[in-house]
A = this chain, B = another copy of it.
Amino acid sequence: MRAVIPYKKAGAKSRLSPVLNLQEREEFVELMLNQVIDSLKEAGIEKIDILSPSVYGLEVMARARVLLDEKDLNEALNRYLEEAEEPVLIVMADLPLLSKEHIKEITSTEKDICIVPGKGGGTNALFIKNPSNYRVRYYGSSFLTHCSIAEDSGQNFEVYDSFMAGTDIDEPEDLVELLIHGKGPAKNYIDRKFKLEVKRGRVGLVPY
């Protein structure tokens, strides 16, 4: 089994720009990436690839293999899957609430595919036992797309139901979940900049 993490540091997380500037966003995604690598390693996954369109921010990465592919995310991942000769876990880099326990459960599915839904129709992780028989299509409602691709190719699948693994950090409101449920460097980074504020209904953020 191997894991692959799509990653782009340059100009990362533009939807967080109302609350974090470019430098902060780039620092923050690097912390999140490293937490995902930590969780994968703690779960016993030794072969970890980072798939990036650019070497920016990965110049000294020694904890994972860096694969550069300038193509669009889907093309790059599908090329990766085509060449893979063992089960592949695709895991997004913005999942600081993903734990080793989640990863162990996801990769021990009895089905051909395990799909971890993210907020708003996304796919936060995808475990594929036979990668040469599967193609990904991220963007848009990729969760539904990935379910259909599994069905259409005759592979059965499990939907992995987790609040924590389902929390990808894209919008300012997601930082609230990180502050409430998170730990580690990514949480500490946000903790130094914001505090929780009780707004109408859900909890929000205010800067220090």
Contact = CB atoms under 8 A, between A and B. Distances in A.
Contacts of A201: 15, 120, 170-171
Interface residues of A, number: 31
A163 interface: yes
Interface of A: 15, 117, 119-122, 139-141, 143-144, 161-166, 170-171, 173, 176-177, 180-181, 196, 198, 200-204
A171 B204 CA distance: 14
Given A117-B163, A121-B203, A164-B161, A144 B180 contact: yes
Nearest to A181: B117
Given A141-B180, A141-B196, A171-B201, 8 more contacts: A119-B202, A120-B176, A121-B202, A122-B202, A140-B198, A161-B162, A166-B166, A171-B202
Contact of A140 (B161, B164, B203): B203
Nearest to A119: B202
Contacts of A120: 173, 176-177, 201-204
